[in-house]
Amino acid sequence: MTRLIDGRAIAAALRAAVAEQVARLGYRPGLAVVLVGEDPASAVYVRAKDRAAGAAGIAAQTRHLPADTSEADLLAVIAGLNADPAVDGILVQLPLPPHIRARAVIEAIDPAKDVDGFHPINVGRLHDGVAALVPCTPLGVMKLLAAADVSLRGARALVLGRSAIVGRPMAALLTAADATVTVAHSRTRDLAAECRRAEVVVAAIGRAEMVRGDWIAAGAAVIDVGINRLPDGRLVGDVAYAEAAEVAGAITPVPGGVGPMTIACLLENTVRAAMARRDP
Ligand code: NDP
């Protein structure tokens, strides 16, 4: 019997726990979200983050800068937020316009305020197994696996995708949780065979329904990070859900799986950053 991993419900419980924690703090953690340009998807994400932060009692501010903002001006905004004691977390919404080097901007964020966990210092800490601010999407996946009681110790886990945002930190977290991890990518020779060996599959490739049901081992846990819009407007994941759900032991839907966890984990990271900075 396949279990549906309900990301909406698990994220709602996490958001409520964060709100309770904030209410006990005696101050409002501050989150600054920086948006450059008019990318409509980014604007939707930023609004959702702002709303969720406000609902959890976090003081959220959005800095919306024009698309022609220079890299120097953006770095000056980041420097101001780094220096602002009321700001505990800084998030720069990606992608940035092509004339701005994302790497330079990420490296300018104070690592103690880097609630996306993308700064090289936090990346290094994660890979060293030291406490760090961890990227929100893979952190959310770990919480989904825990909520679904998926046992990771010694389990064969396959991470599909090796991006800095999802695949690589995901592999580090699974390794830290004692899984035996394989990372697959566009040069992997036989993706289906790698998949069939895995007891835990995390798909983050951005290819609509590429992972088929007959790639999934009976009883495997399948976490679908992918968000792909089909020409007919439907949102689907990287996994062919209906086929995979017939064989998987547990599976996340798209939408309603990993997506809601990403924002909930951002709130959790903001509170963690606030507590570490204000009450070390
Ligand atoms: P990237 O495009 O940065 O990385 C995609 C990865 O998948 C790369 O490592 C790439 O390999 C690999 N890949 C691409 N095509 C194939 C293929 N045909 N076979 C095997 N591997 C392939 O994407 P992201 O990691 O940023 O995002 C992945 C997906 O997750 C997207 O759908 C995105 O929308 C979604 N996402 C969802 C979030 C959420 O909150 N739910 C948050 C972030 C992302 P190579 O390295 O060789 O190029």
Residue 55 sits in a domain of what CATH number? Answer: 3.40.50.10860
Predicted confidence (pLDDT) per residue in 236-261, tens digit: 999 999 999 999 999 999 999 999 99
DSSP 87-148: --EEEEPSPPPTTS-HHHHHHHS-GGGBTT--SHHHHHHHHHT------HHHHHHHHHHHHT
What span, in angstroms and rounded, lies between the C-alpha atoms of 253 and 241?
Answer: 7
Which atom of ligand 1 lies closest to the CA of 166?
25
The CB of 185 under 6 Å from ligand 1? The reply is: yes
What span, in angstroms and rounded, lies between the C-alpha atoms of 19 and 75?
Answer: 31
Do the domain assignments include residue 170? Answer: yes
Residue 49 is among the residues annotated as catalytic for this protein: yes
* From 21, 93, 114, 238, active-site residue: 93
* From 21, 49, 88, 143, active-site residue: 49
Q: What is the pLDDT of residue 203?
A: 98
In this prediction, residue 279 has a pLDDT band, given cuts at 50, 70 and 90, of confident
Q: What is the pLDDT of residue 280?
A: 76
Residue 61 is among the residues annotated as catalytic for this protein: no
Same domain? For 89 and 175 the reply is no
The CB of 187 under 6 Å from ligand 1? The reply is: yes
Same domain? For 158 and 217 the reply is yes
What span, in angstroms and rounded, lies between the C-alpha atoms of 53 and 110?
Answer: 20
Q: Are 159 and 184 in contact (CB under 8 A)?
A: yes
Residue 190 vs residues 52, 199, 202, 222, 225: alpha-carbon distances, Å: 41, 17, 16, 18, 21
pLDDT at 216 over 90: yes
Nearest residue to 140 (alpha-carbon basis) of 259, 17, 273, 21: 259
Predicted confidence (pLDDT) per residue in 151-188, tens digit: 999 999 999 999 999 999 999 999 999 999 999 999 99
Same domain? For 236 and 161 the reply is yes
Q: What is the mean pLDDT of the chain?
A: 97
Probe residue for ligand 1, chosen from 185, 215, 224, 254 as the CB with the greatest number of ligand atoms within 8 Å: 185
Q: Which domain holds residue 142?
A: 136-259
